[in-house]
Chain A
Amino acid sequence: MNRRGFIGYVIKQRTLLLMLTPAVLFFLLFAYVPMAGIVLAFKQFNYTGGVFGSPWNGWDNFRFFFESGNAWMVTRNTALYNIAFIIVNNVLQIAAAILLFEAVGKWFRKISQTVMFLPYFISWVVVGAIAYNLFNYDVGTLNSILTAVGLEPVDVYNTPAYWPYILVLVSAWKTLGYGSVMYLAAIIGIDKEMYEAAEIDGANIFQRIYRITIPNLFPTIIILVLLAIGNIFRGDFGMFYNMVGTNGLLFSYTDVIDTFVFRTLTTSNEVGLSAAVGFYQSVLGFATILLANYAVRKYDKDHALF
């Protein structure tokens, strides 16, 4: 297109372009311009110099991050938690969706779906309050029950080893309703004639679920799981921060990249290091999402992100 054509098109479509302006400005200000701030990862930040005036320090921030041993710890935690979330959450959601569809009455389905969706609607702060209610050493419900039946109380907030189980449970709890609705929608889309044919052939209901429902869910499962794998290095900050907070005792089991970056910025005020870890996460995340998308594309072109 020649220059005249370009300007001519801008003038012709000025209304549409104006309508796009707020969103373009938004993403420029909050996404694209900050990308330039990645230079901070290679700088020894000071407030007088600011983003562009601070002196360079090469790969020092990265070297510090990797040599401190934190890099491996937070990367491992982030990935392992996300893998556990993907497996547990999806298995529960699929089981719930199948049973909601096949095994229970309409009235019961509606009520239970409403109840299961409830945790999705509350903030992570409220989840933190619930965790406090359950696990506080002195007044927590768990210890009330344990002491009532004559057992020793447990000090959950001082025992790192409990936390992987707790966090996986909390994640399953919060996403159950949401995920089972997604899978329910996919089950509803399965051709009813297959079931009728199987029934005539004498297949019992379990065989029908195993041979028809689950195989037909595979496309949905594979796509949702692959997309989740693409985000495997992105920790859910809200969840980890509200469940664990600044309780350093638990960090070896609970610190993820996002909470580490946040603390490095706000508590220890190491802007350069924090930017470096953030950049490391972005690159890692970008690579995994490209890989995941490549896998989705191989599997089913229509569902690829790009």
Chain B
Amino acid sequence: MSATVNQIEKSDKAPKSAGKMQMDRLALNLIGYTFITLLAVICIFPFLLVVSSSLTEESKIIEDGFQLFPTAFSVEAYSLLFKYPTQMLKAYGVTIAVTVLGTALGLFVTAMTAYVLQRKDFKWRNQFSFFFFFTTLFSGGLVPWYLMIVNYLDLKDRLIVLILPMLLNVFYIIVMKSFMSSIPEAITESAKIDGAGDFRIFLQLIIPLSKPALATIGLFIALAYWNDWYNALLFVSSENLMPLQYYLYKMLGNMDGMRRAMVSSGAVVTMNIPTESLKMAMTIVATGPILLAYPFIQRYFVQGLTIGAVKG
């Protein structure tokens, strides 16, 4: 899988025509550096804006609006957030619990399902594959799904409603399946002769050999859980169960709610709350862990996309 990365690196050493720098290449480099720089700046610019706004004094924001650089530096919004952190910490707790449990369970079931579907001696693998795949082509729509979860499974306002509905994704099963089918059969063959059962082969041989795919798909699943707000929007009304992104969503749209949350975490009732910088500070705090982990996990995503792309 890291072949792609190596290939990118190797291509730099590919022999260019020796001697003087040609005009056409120079022109292309000029276009390339300009265009890519422009795109990269556009991609990062909004993040800088949010950081800057979160660090600007509220009165200045009201006066001049948000700016790319803080006109009057202030950490008031952050100190307020960390002074009365109850709600925020609760939301963090929910998100971390959901992400950890959902990723562990989702990844395990994805891998287990993929393992069975790629077993060439399993007669019904195509029928089962189609059974899973068909759900990506046709669905009953939002309403029946919603009623199933709320009326029949009675999951509303339970932690599990943030985990279960997005536990499995057919495309991850397909990617995992194509990765596992590239593991040589000879490896499992000898274990079978030694009398190991299917589940043991999966657990002790296949899982360790699938680590690269597990890492990539695990990160995709974890990111989906961390960023989820949709299930909370539909199924959560209790404040104790709000995940981070949904909490942020609520606070952005509802300043009174923010005030109430602050008061309920012990803030003085009459206090002037710097709502604008606070919104931006909350955005940063809710995105923080992803931004920090991002440089380290990005390459796994790139690799994952590349296996997906090659295998279709």
| Residues of chain A at the chain B interface (Cβ within 8 Å) | 9, 13, 15-16, 18-20, 22-24, 26-27, 29-38, 40, 50-51, 92, 95-96, 99-106, 108-109, 111-126, 128-130, 132-134, 136, 138-141, 143-144, 147, 173, 176-178, 181-182, 184-186, 188, 192, 199, 204-206, 209, 220, 223, 237-238, 242, 245, 258, 261-262, 265-266, 271, 274-275, 277-279, 281-282, 285-286, 289-290, 302-303, 305-306
Residues of chain A lying within 8 A (CB to CB) of residue B142? 258, 261-262, 265, 274, 278
Instruction: Give the CA-CA distance A117 to B295 in the complex, in Å.
Output: 10
For the complex, is B257 an interface residue (Cβ under 8 Å from A)?
no
List, in ascending order, chain B residues with CB within 8 A of A19's CB: 112-113, 115-116, 198-199, 202
Interface presence of B240 (CB below 8 A): no
Contact with A along B233-263 (1 / 0, CB 8 A): 0100000000001101100110000000000
Among B61, B133, B302, the residue within 8 A (CB) of A306 is B133
Give the docked Cα–Cα distance between A31 and B230 (Å).
17
Known pairs A23-B109, A40-B144, A275-B143; list 9 more (Cβ under 8 Å): A23-B113, A29-B153, A96-B39, A125-B249, A138-B65, A181-B305, A185-B310, A265-B143, A274-B142
Are B249's CB and A282's CB within 8 A?
Answer: no
A287 → chain B closest CB, angstroms: 10
The residues of A that contact B2 with a CB separation of less than 8 Å are none
- Would you call B103 an interface residue if the criterion is a C-beta within 8 Å of the partner chain's C-beta atoms? no
User: In chain B between 99 and 133, which residues have their CB closer than 8 angstroms to a CB of chain A?
Assistant: 109, 112-113, 115-117, 119, 122-123, 128, 130-133
Name the CB-closest residue of B to A144.
B65
B247 → chain A, closest Cβ, in Å? 9
Q: Report chain B residues within 8 Å CB of A178.
A: 305
Q: Mark B125-152, 1 if CB is under 8 A from A, else 0.
A: 0001011110101111111111111010
A108 to B40, CA, bound (A): 11
A206 pairs with B141, CB closer than 8 A: no
Contact B33 A103 (CB under 8 A): yes
Which of B12, B27, B245, B280 contacts A123 (CB under 8 A)?
B245
By a CB distance below 8 angstroms, the chain A residues around B113 are 19-20, 22-23
Contact-size category for B: 35 or more
Given A139-B66, A282-B138, answer yes or no on A100-B36 (Cβ-Cβ < 8 Å).
Answer: yes
Give the residues in chain A near B197, CB-CB below 8 Å: 15
Asked if B20 is at the interface of the complex by the 8 Å CB criterion, the answer is no
In the complex, per-residue mask of B259-299: 1 if CB is within 8 Å of any chain A CB, else 0:
00000000000000000100110010011001100110010
Does A134 contact B49, Cβ atoms closer than 8 Å?
yes
Q: A182 to chain B: which residues have CB within 8 Å? A: 305-306, 309
Contacts of A237 in B (CB 8 A): 230
Residue B97 interfacial (CB < 8 Å): no
Asked if B181 is at the interface (CB within 8 A of a chain A CB), the reply is no
- B115 neighbours in A (Cβ, 8 Å): 19
Q: Is the CB of A185 within 8 A of B139?
A: no
B306 adjacent to A26 (CB under 8 Å): no
Q: Which of B9, B117, B295 contacts A106 (CB 8 A)?
A: B9
B283, closest chain A residue (CB): A129
Complex alpha-carbon distance, A119 and B47, angstroms? 9
Chain A nearest CB from B140 CB (Å) reads: 4
Q: How far is the CA of A206 from the CA of B28 in the complex (A)?
A: 8
Check B249–A242 contact: CB distance below 8 A.
yes
Q: Which of A20, A22, A29, A282 contacts B141 (CB 8 A)?
A: A282
Say how far B109's CB is from chain A's closest CB, in angstroms: 5
Contact of B132 among A23, A111, A117, A140 (CB under 8 A): A23
Closest 5 CB pairs of A and B: A103-B32, A37-B144, A278-B141, A144-B65, A123-B227
B interface list, Cβ under 8 A from A: 4, 7-9, 11-12, 14, 17, 22, 24-25, 27-29, 31-33, 35-37, 39-40, 42-44, 46-47, 49-50, 53, 61-62, 64-68, 109, 112-113, 115-117, 119, 122-123, 128, 130-133, 135, 137-149, 151, 153, 164-165, 167-168, 173, 197-199, 202, 223, 226-230, 234, 245-246, 248-249, 252-253, 276, 279-280, 283, 286-287, 290-291, 294-295, 298, 301-302, 305-306, 309-310, 312
Is A38 in contact with B37, judged by CB distance below 8 angstroms?
Answer: no
Nearest CB on A from B32, distance (A) = 2
Which of A51, A95, A286 is the one whose CB lies under 8 Å from B147?
A51
B49 engages A133 (CB within 8 Å): yes
Residue contact B312 to A117, C-beta cutoff 8 Å:
no
Complex Cα spacing A258 to B184, Å: 44
Taking CB as reference atom, which chain B residue is nearest A50? B151
Q: Shortest Cβ distance from A221 into chain B, in angstroms?
A: 12
> Can you list 11 contacts pairing A with B, beta carbon distance less than 8 Å?
A20-B112, A29-B153, A30-B164, A30-B165, A96-B36, A101-B11, A105-B12, A108-B36, A122-B227, A130-B283, A275-B141
Q: Given A125-B252, A126-B248, verify A24-B128 contact (CB < 8 Å).
A: yes
Query: Which A-chain residue is minimally distant from B41 (CB atoms)?
Result: A115
| Residue of B whose beta carbon sits closest to that of A10 | B124
Nearest opposing residue in chain B for A38, CB measure? B140
Q: Which residues of A contact B252 (CB under 8 A)?
A: 125, 128-129, 132
